[in-house]
Amino acid sequence: MERTLQQLGIDRLSAEQRLELIGLIWDSLPADVPFTPPDRHVRELERRIADADANPGAAEPWESVMSRLSRNP
């Protein structure tokens, strides 16, 4: 039987609560369970890798991204 968000009460959770729930569910998966990402995710990753290889100067160093994101608005 397929469950809906409404049946599980997830539709009544805030966005923050839903994100927390996603983390809890993800963390509950056993480490030894095989996982194969969907084909569309693999294609997107391959596209991004090809783009990064074709345009290496377009990347922003991780440190500067973290610095920018951690600044107070």
Give me the pLDDT at residue 73, please.
Answer: 62
Confidence of residue 71 (pLDDT cuts 50, 70, 90): confident
Give me the pLDDT at residue 72, please.
Answer: 67
Contact 42, 50 (CB under 8 A): no
Give me the pLDDT at residue 50, please.
Answer: 97
Give the mean pLDDT of 42-61.
94
CA 70 to chain CA centroid, nearest Å? 19
Instruction: Give percent of the chain above pLDDT 70.
Output: 96
Domain positions in the chain? 39-70
- Token output for 47: 């596209």
DSSP secondary structure letters along 25-52: HHHHS-TTS-----HHHHHHHHHHHHHH
Give me the pLDDT at residue 25, please.
Answer: 94
Question: What does the DSSP 8-state code read for residue 31?
Answer: T
Express each pLDDT in 6-26 by its tens digit. 999 999 999 999 999 999 999
